[in-house]
Structure 1
Amino acid sequence: MEKIKAGIIRINKVRFNVADFVNARIEELRRGAGQNHVRFEPSAGNGDLSAEADPDRLSQALLNILNNAVKFSEPGSVVRTNVIRVKGNDEIIPSKIRLSLDAAKDYILVSVLDHGDGIPEKDREKVFEEFFQSESHLTRKHQGAGVGLFIAAKIMEFHGGKIWAESGDNGRGAKISFVIPAGNQYINTVFSVKVLTGKW
């Protein structure tokens, strides 16, 4: 955690199918999600959905996002995931996020939609700050350290990606989405934010 906060982290990239990766993480969570009677409905687009990323770090980020979705969903509701390939200037991406992406590059877009109380618009950037808790989305009965989305945001940053929060379908629930560069666009397989020595 301290290394993530300080921006000192090693990213070991390999190429893998992100849709399959998301489905595997969902399988890890199904038993726990069942305790809240929450179901998962994954979906994915066609074509090449591969990325070059660190599977361990991406798993850490994705599990934080999925756990939040389960935690704040209404009992008996559905958590939906979607994985598609997009250009950096695709209008499905919020305009503020598009400005920070390379319009010519392809990205893998992953979205996780819950059916809880949602996140007030004023808090949608703050939820990625360390220890922030929205009065609506992170209610008292769900109190915790509040670092899950902060960690996810840092991991996306280390991958050259972005993460953001939106309202869910018809204003219901919350949707957390992120993009990371698609595969075959980078030569290096190891990336570090700062020069590292020794073990991390």
Structure 2
Amino acid sequence: MEVVRPGETPRLEPLAGLVLAGGTDVDPARYGEPPHPAAYPPEPARDALELQLLEAAAAAGAPVFAICRGMQLLNVARGGGLIQHLPDVVGHERHADAPPVDAKHRPAHAVAIDGPGRLRGLLGPGPVDVNSRHHQAVDPARLGAGLRIAARADDGTVEALEPAEPGPAFLLAVQWHPEDIAIGPPGPMREQARALFEAFAAAAREFAPA
């Protein structure tokens, strides 16, 4: 596994798979909007790097697992848009949970899994308890090309994306933080979080050159 940071030249060969992690807001200029007053300062170098990595992964057919900001960036990369400040739309700030470092695995709300697909195959029909740490979200009215909503919160917030049409490449995006849940206490949440990473790892092993 290699961690790639802005300012570094990524090594794209060999590419077994790509994980896009959480972080600051995607520059709204990339989806044609001025910044919301509550938006965090953009990191153009990170946006550019991760978009380059997404393009390389797509061209190679490599597995992609996108988390939180990563899901938002995936939607933008496919021509979609974002809700810049979710409380403006849903009327509350429960998605922007900020637990102590030792409690990032705790449940914040449940998500309902929408229709058959990879996520349902991995986690079952739901509902599934998840953690939450974001103030932006994918705009369901501006989904990126070739994507479908795979899960929603009860307030309508988009919580997962996957390909609109099944294909050979692994592509899954979630708005919550399974990396925190996966190292939390034993229980259904941890098992479900680990199932996501295990599926991505299996896809990367299958894709990786010998």
Structure showing greater relative contact order (alpha-carbon pairs closer than 8 Å, 6 or more residues apart): 1
TM above 0.5, one fold? no
TM range (shorter): 0.3 to 0.5
Give the structure with the larger strand fraction: 1
